[in-house]
A = this chain, B = another copy of it.
Amino acid sequence: MKESVIVVYEKPELKDPIFIEGLPGIGLVGKLAADHLIKELNAKKFAELYSPHFLHQVLVKKDSTVDLMKNEFYYWKGGEEYRDIIIITGDTQVPPTDSYGHFEVVGKMLDFVGEFGTKEIITMGGFQVPELQGEPKVLGSVTHVELKERYKDLPIIFREDEGGAIVGAAGLLLGIGKLRGMRGISLLGESLGYVVDAKAAKAVLSVVARILGIEIDMSALDERAKETEEILKKVQEMQRAMFEQQMPQPTGEEEDRGYL
């Protein structure tokens, strides 16, 4: 495998779909929001992205089967009333040490959603803050300044922190997308970043719901967050234990070590 590949299970006919990203990041805010949106809309998986830039490992599932790390595309048809949607979520992003890989993967994503006529993007994530004051706010940034006008009635604090960054897919999708004539908004929920942050996900998702003009039942989100947190904790403990036992070895051996 020498570049990212997308395995396509179905080619839905979509009309001007909006592309929504929620991949792992700060507080797992984006992923949690995307997972919940998929569940509530009963969106359908139609493609998977695999990349040689993801970690060189497979993940074990509850039924003892394994899969490469992957990202997954879902679609939902809005019918007469709502817009069609493509959602991407997944286990992983390219590690932070591989900038090149990030560009490659995000380029492939945009190629793919472009085939379905995507011209608009929403990216979801967390924005790490040292402390929270009241409910988490949702910070927005856009590809084109006129989008601020369009969304001015929504509870979005538009960022003005010149030089601030949006790292990873949540940023690159907008940046590369813009070069290809797409438009988009990044919605980041304030988060302490340490935990699986259901509150921030809820804040972000409620803004997304208003953009899409749909209703999303948030009641299951807390439950989902708790489950995710438990799995994550187990994984992290195991990985930390293994990590501590690692030491230089002559033959580049590595196998079933959960090193970072």
Q: Which residues of A contact B (CB under 8 A)?
A: 1-2, 5, 7, 23-26, 28, 30-31, 50, 52-69, 91-96, 98-104, 106-107, 125-128, 130, 140-145, 148, 158-172, 174-176, 178-179, 186, 188, 193-194, 231-232, 234-236, 238-243, 245, 248-260
B175 touches A23 (CB 8 A): no
Contact check: which of B28, B175, B251 meets A58 at CB < 8 Å? B175
23 A-B pairs with C-beta separation under 8 A:
A1-B103, A1-B104, A1-B107, A52-B102, A52-B103, A56-B96, A57-B166, A59-B165, A60-B160, A60-B163, A60-B165, A62-B162, A63-B160, A64-B145, A66-B186, A128-B242, A128-B257, A163-B235, A164-B235, A168-B254, A188-B256, A236-B250, A240-B248
A90 to chain B, nearest CB (A): 9
User: Given the complex, which residues of B lie within 8 Å of A231, measured CB to CB?
Assistant: 162-163
User: Given the complex, which residues of B lie within 8 Å of A59, measured CB to CB?
Assistant: 163-165
User: Given the complex, which residues of B lie within 8 Å of A174, measured CB to CB?
Assistant: 58, 66
Q: Given that A176-B1, A256-B25 are known contacts, is A166 also in contact with B100, CB under 8 Å in the complex?
A: no
Q: Given that A25-B253, A64-B140, A165-B258 are known contacts, is A55 also in contact with B99, CB under 8 Å in the complex?
A: yes
Number of copies: 4
User: Given the complex, which residues of B lie within 8 Å of A95, measured CB to CB?
Assistant: 99, 252, 254
Contact check: which of B162, B171, B256 meets A57 at CB < 8 Å? B171
A230 to chain B, nearest CB (A): 10
User: Given the complex, which residues of B lie within 8 Å of A193, measured CB to CB?
Assistant: 245
User: Given the complex, which residues of B lie within 8 Å of A23, measured CB to CB?
Assistant: 253, 255
B93 touches A251 (CB 8 A): yes
User: Given the complex, which residues of B lie within 8 Å of A145, measured CB to CB?
Assistant: 63-65
Contact check: which of B52, B102, B167, B258 meets A104 at CB < 8 Å? B52
Q: Given that A141-B60, A232-B250 are known contacts, is A66 also in contact with B255, CB under 8 Å in the complex?
A: no
In the bound complex, how far is the Cα of B243 from the Cα of A172, in angstroms? 20
In the bound complex, how far is the Cα of B260 from the Cα of A24, in angstroms? 19
